[in-house]
Amino acid sequence: MCYLVHLALCGCWGIEPGTHILLLLLYGVGGCPPKCFCHPSAKWVDCSGQGLAEVPPDLPPQTLMLFLQDNRIHWLPALAFRTTPLLTTLNLSNNSLSSLTPESFYGLRHLRVLNLTQNSLPSLESSLAHTLPQLRELHLSYNNLRRLPTSLGQPWENLTVFAVQQNQLLHLERALLESMPSVRLVLLRDNLWRCDCHLLRLKLWLERFIFEGGVTDGVICGSPDLWKGQDLLSIPYELYQPCPLPSSSLTSLHGQQPGSAQREVAESPENHSGQQEPLDCENKPKPRPVNLRHALATVVITGVVCGIVCLMMLAAAIYGCTYAAITAQCHRGSLEPTTEPGKTKGKDLLDRPAA
């Protein structure tokens, strides 16, 4: 079948009859899987839209680009792509993947683009960065992501595109993005972002990211109701309450009985990995937050102080003008008596008859 398809392609593309033997040898090295189209010269294999339930096992080893989108693949075994170690582009979008393990991508040291959009992935493992060190683009939009790793442990040096649009994310740790020093495009829109104190660090990172030339589509708050529908970057810093440290809750228990304190610590929620979940410090919506009232009070006090200073300056000016006027008047009055005697004496001399 592959031979007939190949002959048809040679006839359509005008390939010399003698060259098809070399192409057949390339096909014979790894074969071309059924329901797939192989292009040996371009080194890509297209198996999209064929209703496949698993990755074809007999892919050509020289393949650089593999297209498996629009199929029914629901899981990836370990070393799923062991026959194609030179892959640079892998498209698995619009499948039925509900779990993802880094072991599935073992051996893909040259992979640069991984497209996993439109699947059902609930989380992302941090060890994926170690498995795919050369990855530049990671597309995870339109999944069911509810949790992302807090950090990667080591920098993902080559990653430039990170897309997690249209998921179920509430928070995103700044440390995760700081593990991607080369990222230039971050797509975050259409999630359930909870704009509380936990998201303040993300806000600070995004502002610096944009200032340095990065591109993002923004974070639109899904909760609380006070900020629902607003862009995270438009909310002032002053309206965020700092997150309480986990140790502060333990310090407040010093005055309680030891048994009750230990019981409350033991009942703290934990996730599946055994780590304690971050405290939910979301502030209840208020008509006017405390920090805003403090800011208004500061403005009022500053205005009063400025008014008093202006009045004092006005009083000083009036006093200065009055003092100058009085001083001038007194000076003029002191000069008049000295001139009058002179005039009188001169008049007496004129009126005195000559001897």
Hey, is 114 helix, strand or coil?
Answer: strand
For 5, 77, 134, the CA distances from 32, given in Å and listed in that order, are: 11, 21, 27
Question: What is the structure's pLDDT at 290?
Answer: 44
Higher pLDDT, 57 or 210: 210
Structure tokens at 105: 């991508």
Contact 101, 78 (CB under 8 A): yes
209 with 225: CB under 8 angstroms?
no
Give the DSSP letter of residue 233.
Answer: G
Residue range 150-171: average pLDDT?
93
What is the secondary structure of 137-189 as a DSSP string? Answer: EEE--SS---B--S--SS--TT--EEE--SS------HHHHHT-TT--EEE--
Strand intervals (E) in 198-331: 215-216
Query: Average pLDDT of 269-291?
Result: 44
- Mean confidence (pLDDT) of the chain: 78
Q: What is the structure's pLDDT at 298?
A: 78
Question: Does pLDDT of 177 surpass 70?
Answer: yes
Query: Does position 326 have pLDDT exceeding 50, yes or no?
Result: yes
Residue with tokens 């040259």: 110
pLDDT of residue 294: 57
Distances in whole angstroms, Cα of residue 17 to Cα of each of 6, 21, 32, 38, 212: 11, 8, 20, 19, 56
Between these two residues, 276 and 170, which has the higher pLDDT value?
170
Tokens in use for 225?
A: 């109701």
Report the alpha-carbon distance of residue 206 to residue 147 in Å, rounded.
Answer: 19
Q: 167: buried, middle or exposed (CB in 10 Å: 19+, 13-18, 0-12)?
A: buried
Higher pLDDT, 263 or 122: 122
Which pLDDT value is given to residue 21?
A: 38
Q: What is the CATH number of domain 2-249+265-285?
A: 3.80.10.10
Cα torsion at 89, 90, 94, 100 (round to 10°)?
A: -140
Residue 282 has pLDDT above 50, yes or no: no
For a pLDDT cut of 90, what percent of the chain falls above it?
A: 48
- 162 vs 40, residue with greater confidence: 162
For residue 223, give the 3-state DSSP assignment.
Answer: strand
pLDDT of 131 reads 93
Q: Is 55 exposed, middle or buried (0-12, 13-18, 19+ CB in 10 A)?
A: buried
Mean pLDDT on 247-269: 46
Distance, CA of 70 to CA of 35 (rounded, Å): 13
